[in-house]
Amino acid sequence: MNKRLVVALLIAVFAFSGAAIVHAEKDGMGKMGKMGKMGKMGKMGMDDKILKKAYFFLKNSKELGLSDEQIVKIKALKVGVKKELIQQNADIEILGIDIRTAMYTDSIDTDAVNKLISKKYDLKKAKAQYLVTKYVELKSILTAEQKTKLKDLWKQCKA
């Protein structure tokens, strides 16, 4: 009788906590937080930020007064980043598959798995460093005057 009571209480606690989580998601307190869509912008990865910023530059090229040379550089950088990200993400995913495969065996070689894990996170680190470099490169395409216009345009879009 006592075991049934404990099990029933545990089930009730889990059900209540699950309902509370669903309610929090429904009220906008979930993944995006109180800020709604703007909260999502803060959750973007560097890859999304670079590509969206390049898109914003190109979309507002007339307002910013971008030269043809600047437009070509931005487009080339955007395409290059996309290609490189595809390659880097594929390499990371392949290593993830290799790690899971190594974990399936009966006798797991921890040294080999640890090396794969280190390699995977070295690739992620290299990806982050690459994205920072490209982000700086993208921002350096604009002149100081264009950067101030860009800030004004961004504020108008947010309003």
- Residues 4-14: pLDDT tens digits? 777 676 676 66
pLDDT tens-place string over residues 44-75: 788 899 999 999 999 999 998 999 999 999 99
Residue 25's identity, in one-letter code, is E
E strand or H helix that includes residue 147: helix 144-158
pTM of the model: 0.67
pLDDT tens-place string over residues 13-46: 667 676 656 555 554 544 444 444 445 555 778 8
List, in sequence order, the alpha helices (H) in 27-67.
37-42, 46-59, 61-64
Phi and psi torsions of 135, nearest 5°: -65, -45
| CA–CA gap between residue 46 and residue 13 (Å, rounded) | 39
| CA–CA gap between residue 26 and residue 4 (Å, rounded) | 33
Residue ranges of domains in the chain: 1-36, 44-158
